[in-house]
């Protein structure tokens, strides 16, 4: 049995039992013991021992689409950026417009290299007196160095990752789960808005963000409150059908929404324009930013390749790095692929030559000797989500 695996950060699974090989020096989130107690199957993700699933990927996926799920995403990194010049520093680093943020608003943005390649995709939260930047776990060290390097005089940068627990509650019933345990105002916040307030007896950032396409919350708080918040959410959520959900379903949920996974769909060698993230690139914002010239040049020249979503007619599943063919010629590679539980069919993302990127284009995915018939479709794949 040769196991293939979905995340770049996984070790190579070329031998049986690889999933359970001990990690050399595994890191743990504050919820590690709860994952074990809940029967979570633990795997290495970006150096953290994280639950890939508790019961089953499909069950957990449907739980989030139909009710609510609880995700531990504390492996992600949080930086605090403050002092005069904090806004300008961030605006010079990311493609989206930080200066336009109101207090209580969050922003999704890529950060680019000078050549336009993506350093990371991240969230910027504007707090009253500072910014919180949330980055991918695999990029914490790289991003911290990247921001420190670019910091203007007077800017204070702190890595708060080890002092921050992060849970996501996602699903159409998420607000019902939270009602009575967060301020009522938190239930009325719009998408990508947040507030600071009490939550399940702790205090922290209550954010209306997520990675699933459903309504939901992301809660940032101190790890000393890990137990009371985790158990509080589980017991408040049980009547609403909430269950803990692992990284496996997190990936199928985000992929149905065609949200990017850094290291798979976007990386140092892809730029936001070809990834379809042009809506996050504010070429006209006041501040100059790293990669701007490269992206302007790209736009003037036209894109050679584009990230597309595709859907398959058969049951075989496309996987990361499989070749994409068009009219018998290789035109790109699959970056993410899965069986989509909500659509009950295989879907994928991949870069293809611009000539094959139009919705409706017929393509083929090469899976060993087999060629899987596929068609470019509109993104997102799943359009019934409850997020506002």
Partner 1 sequence: MGYPEDVRYTAEHEWARLEGGVVTIGITSYATEQLGDVVFVELPEVGRMLEAMKPFGVVEAVKTVSDLYAPLGGRVIEVNSALADNPALVNQEPFGEGWMIRLRPAKAADLQKLMTGPEYEKMIEEHQG
344: number of Cβ within 10 Å? 9
Find the binding residues for partner 1 in span 7-26 (CB under 8 A).
13, 15-17, 19-22
Query: From the CB of 3, what's the least distance to partner 1, in Å?
Result: 5
Q: Is 319 in the site for partner 1 (CB under 8 A)?
A: yes
Q: At what angle do helices 57-66 and 247-256 cross, to 10 degrees?
A: 60
Among the residue ranges 3-11, 231-239, 324-332, 351-359, the one whose residues contact partner 1 (CB under 8 A): 3-11
Q: Is 4 in the site for partner 1 (CB under 8 A)?
A: yes
Find residue 110's DSSP bridge partners.
121
Among the residue ranges 1-9, 68-76, 209-217, 279-287, the one whose residues contact partner 1 (CB under 8 A): 1-9
Could you tell me how many residues of this chain bind partner 1 (CB under 8 A)?
31
Q: Is 66 in the site for partner 1 (CB under 8 A)?
A: no
Query: From the CB of 120, what's the least distance to partner 1, in Å?
Result: 23
Q: Is 315 in the site for partner 1 (CB under 8 A)?
A: yes
**3-state DSSP assignment of residue 201:** coil
Q: Is 28 in the site for partner 1 (CB under 8 A)?
A: no
Query: From the CB of 314, what's the least distance to partner 1, in Å?
Result: 8
Q: Is 238 in the site for partner 1 (CB under 8 A)?
A: no
Q: Is 348 in the site for partner 1 (CB under 8 A)?
A: no
Among the residue ranges 63-71, 155-163, 246-254, 326-334, the one whose residues contact partner 1 (CB under 8 A): 246-254
**Do residues 84 and 95 make contact, with C-beta atoms less than 8 angstroms apart?**
no
User: What is the torsional sign of CA 45, 34, 259, 311?
Assistant: positive
Query: From the CB of 237, what's the least distance to partner 1, in Å?
Result: 23
Instruction: Give the burial string for 221-249 (b: 16+ CB within 10 Å, else e).
Output: bebebbeebbebbbebbeebbbbbbbbbb
Question: Within the chain, what is the greatest distance between any pair of CA atoms?
Answer: 60
Element (H, E) at 232: helix 226-237
Among the residue ranges 49-57, 72-80, 122-130, 216-224, the one whose residues contact partner 1 (CB under 8 A): 49-57
Return the closest-CA partner of residue 267 out of 79, 115, 58, 117.
117
Residue count of the chain, please give it: 388
Which residues make Cβ contacts (< 8 Å) with residue 171, sequence separation at least 6? Answer: 63, 64, 65, 66, 67, 68, 69, 212, 214, 215, 216, 242, 386
Which residues make Cβ contacts (< 8 Å) with residue 161, sequence separation at least 6? Answer: 76, 77, 78, 79, 140
Among the residue ranges 48-56, 117-125, 212-220, 354-362, the one whose residues contact partner 1 (CB under 8 A): 48-56
Query: From the CB of 365, what's the least distance to partner 1, in Å?
Result: 12
Q: Binding residues for partner 1, per CB under 8 A?
A: 1-6, 13, 15-17, 19-22, 41, 52-53, 56-59, 248, 251-252, 315-317, 319, 338-339, 341
């Amino acid at each position: 049995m040769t196991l293939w695996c979905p995340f770049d950060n996984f070790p190579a699974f070329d031998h049986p039992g690889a999933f359970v090989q001990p990690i050399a020096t595994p890191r743990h989130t504050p919820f590690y013991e709860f994952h074990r107690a809940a029967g979570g199957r633990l795997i290495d993700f970006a150096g953290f021992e994280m639950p890939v699933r508790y019961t089953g990927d499909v069950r957990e996926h449907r739980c989030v689409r139909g009710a609510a799920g609880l995700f531990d995403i504390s492996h992600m990194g949080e930086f605090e950026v403050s002092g005069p010049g904090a806004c300008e520093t961030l605006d010079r680093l990311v493609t989206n417009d930080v200066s336009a943020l109101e207090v209580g608003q969050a922003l999704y943005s890529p950060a680019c290299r000078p050549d336009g390649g993506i350093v990371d995709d991240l969230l910027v939260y504007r707090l009253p007196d500072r910014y919180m930047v949330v980055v991918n776990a695999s990029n914490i060290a790289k991003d911290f160095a990247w921001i420190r390097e670019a910091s203007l005089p007077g800017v204070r940068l702190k890595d708060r990752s080890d002092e921050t627990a992060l849970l996501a509650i996602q699903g159409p019933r998420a607000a019902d789960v939270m009602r009575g345990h967060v301020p009522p105002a938190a239930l009325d916040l719009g998408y990508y808005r947040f507030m600071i307030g009490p939550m399940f007896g702790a205090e922290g950032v209550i954010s209306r963000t997520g990675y699933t396409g459903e309504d939901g919350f992301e809660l940032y708080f101190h790890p000393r409150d890990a137990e009371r918040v985790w158990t509080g959410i589980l017991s408040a959520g049980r009547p609403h059908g909430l269950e803990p959900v692992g990284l496996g379903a997190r990936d199928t949920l985000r992929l149905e929404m065609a949200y990017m996974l850094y290291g798979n769909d976007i990386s140092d060698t892809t730029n936001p324009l070809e990834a379809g993230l042009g809506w996050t690139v504010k070429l006209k914002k006041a501040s100059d930013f790293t990669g701007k010239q490269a992206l302007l040049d790209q736009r003037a020249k036209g894109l050679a390749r584009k990230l597309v979503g595709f859907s398959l007619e058969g049951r075989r599943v496309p996987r990361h790095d499989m070749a994409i063919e068009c009219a018998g010629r290789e035109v790109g590679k699959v970056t993410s692929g899965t069986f989509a539980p909500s659509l009950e069919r295989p879907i994928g993302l991949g870069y293809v030559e611009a000539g094959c990127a139009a919705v409706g284009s017929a393509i083929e995915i090469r899976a060993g000797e087999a060629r899987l018939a596929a068609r470019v479709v509109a993104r997102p794949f799943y359009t019934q989500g409850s997020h506002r």
